[in-house]
Chains A and B, each alone.
Chain A
Amino acid sequence: MALSKSNLNVGDQHTEQVVENLTRTQIIQYAGASGDYNPLHTDEVFTTKVAGYPTVFAHGMLSMGMTGKMLTNYVGDGRLTKYGVRFVAQVWPGDSLTATATIDAIREEDGVQLVDLSVSTVNQDGAEVVKGSATARIDA
C-alpha cells in the first residue's frame, strides 16, 4: 500500500530488522545473484591469508538491498524515485541489521506528491553501516 500525504508528518519513522545473524550462505547467494564474485565476500582463505581481513564480509550492495526491503515495504511497490547510500562500515557474518527511514520533507513537484526520507541502517551494536536518502511518490 502506498503512503498517503494526509497520514504523514515530518519526523515519522519506519523501522525493520532486515537481517538477523547474517550467514555466509546469504552473502554467497548475493554473490551468485548479483554477479559480484569478489572473493573478499565468499572466500575465507583468500580473505584471511591474502587480503588480511579477519573473515569474509558482506557486499555493500547486499546491505543496500536489505535496507531497500525496508524502504519498499514502507513506501509501496514501484514508488521509489530515488534511493542512494554511503557504505559507512563493513557488515560481517553474524551481524543483525536494523534499517530506519525518517521523513525529512513532504512536498509537491510538478504536480506529484513526494516524500523525502533519510535512511540509516545500524548493526546489533548500534553502529551505523549504511547511511542514505530516498524519495518516493505518495498519494495526495
Chain B
Amino acid sequence: MATDHFPVEAGHIILFARSIGDSNPIYHDAGAAAETEPGHVIPPPTFVQASAQFTDGYNLRPVIGQPWFGSGKEPTGIQRESTGGGGGGTGFHAEQHYEYHAPVKPGDVLKAVDKPGKSWSREGRRGGSLQFSESITEYYNQDGALVVTARSVGVQTSRVVE
C-alpha cells in the first residue's frame, strides 16, 4: 500500500505487538532492546502492513465525514467499490510474502512504492470462481535503502466462502 510518509513510531510498534499477542521486550522496552543483537527496538515481521494507516484513500479505513459501509444501529446498505489485492475491496487476502533487506527502527520514515503484479483466475472448491491479483510493495527508508519487499495476493470470490 503506497505512501510517501510511513513514520515508524515506538508506540505504534507496542500496539501492533500487543495485537498479535507478542510480549517480546524488543518490541516495547528500549533498554532491553539495546542488549539484543539488533541493538534497538524493531517492529514485528508483519508490521509494515500497518502502512495502511498512512495510505491515502485506503478503502478499509473510514474517512471522516464520508459514508462507511459498516453498520450503525442497523446495516447502512452502503456498497463499496471492489479492488483487488491485499484483502481490500470485496476480496480476501490469499497470500502475503515478505523479504527483509535491512533493519527498521523507531524514527525511520518509510516510503512505500506499489508495483504491478500478475493476475490469474481459477475455479475454487469453496468460493466459486476465483480471481487472483498480485501487488508488490517496496518499502524504502529515509536514506533511500530498500528495507522490505512485500508481495500480496488478493482473491475475489464469486460467492461467500464456506
Question: Which A residues fall within an 8 A CB radius of B?
Answer: 2, 18-19, 26, 29-30, 32-39, 42-43, 45-46, 49-53, 59-62, 64-66, 68-69, 71-73, 76-87, 90
For residue B104, which residue of chain A has the nearest CB? A78
Indicate if the CB atoms of B21 and A87 lie closer than 8 Å: no
Q: Is the beta-carbon distance between A34 and B98 smaller than 8 angstroms?
A: no
Q: Is the CB of B52 within 8 A of A36?
A: yes
Closest to A62 in B: B20
Q: Quick check: which of B86-94, B113-121, B138-146 contacts chain A, the rest being far away?
A: B86-94
A84 touches B97 (CB 8 A): yes
Q: Which B residues are CB-close (under 8 A) to A53?
A: 160
CB-CB under 8 A from B74, the residues of chain A are 45, 49
Residues of B within 8 A of A (CB): 12, 15-16, 18-22, 24, 26, 36-38, 42, 44-46, 49-54, 58, 60-62, 69-71, 74-75, 87, 92-100, 103, 151, 160-161
Nearest residue (CB) in A for B46 is: A65
Q: How far is the CA of A78 from the CA of B20 in the complex (A)?
A: 17
Q: Are B16 and A69 in contact (CB under 8 A)?
A: no
* CB-based closest 9 A-B pairs: A84-B97, A65-B20, A39-B70, A35-B53, A35-B52, A45-B71, A29-B19, A78-B38, A33-B19
Asked if residues A86 and B95 are in contact (CB atoms below 8 Å), the reply is yes
Prevailing SS type, chain A contact patch: mixed
Residues of A within 8 A of B92 (CB): 60, 87
Cross-interface CB contact of B15 among A32, A62, A68, A79, cutoff 8 Å = A32
Q: Is the CB of A83 within 8 A of B71?
A: no
The complex places the Cα of A17 from the Cα of B53 at a distance, in Å, of 29
Residues of B within 8 A of A42 (CB): 70
Q: How distant is A43 from chain B, measured CB to nearest CB, in Å?
A: 5
- Return the contact of A68 from the options B36, B45, B52, B99 (Cβ within 8 A): B45
Contact partner, B36, options A73, A77, A81, Cβ 8 Å? A77
Q: Which residues of B contact A82 (CB under 8 A)?
A: 97-100
Closest A residue to B13 using CB positions: A33
Docked Cα-Cα span, A77 to B41, in Å, equals 10
* Min distance, Cβ A130 to any Cβ of chain B, angstroms: 10
With A33-B19, A60-B92 already in contact, 11 other A-B pairs whose C-beta atoms are closer than 8 Å: A26-B21, A29-B15, A39-B71, A43-B71, A46-B75, A50-B75, A52-B160, A61-B96, A62-B19, A80-B45, A86-B95
Q: Is the CB of B50 within 8 A of A35?
A: yes
Q: Please determine whether A36 and B44 come into contact, CB atoms closer than 8 angstroms.
A: no
Given A65-B46, A83-B45; A73-B24 close (CB under 8 Å): yes
Q: Which residue of B lies closest to A81 (CB)?
A: B100
Most B CB contacts (10 A, CB to CB) among A26, A33, A37 go to A33
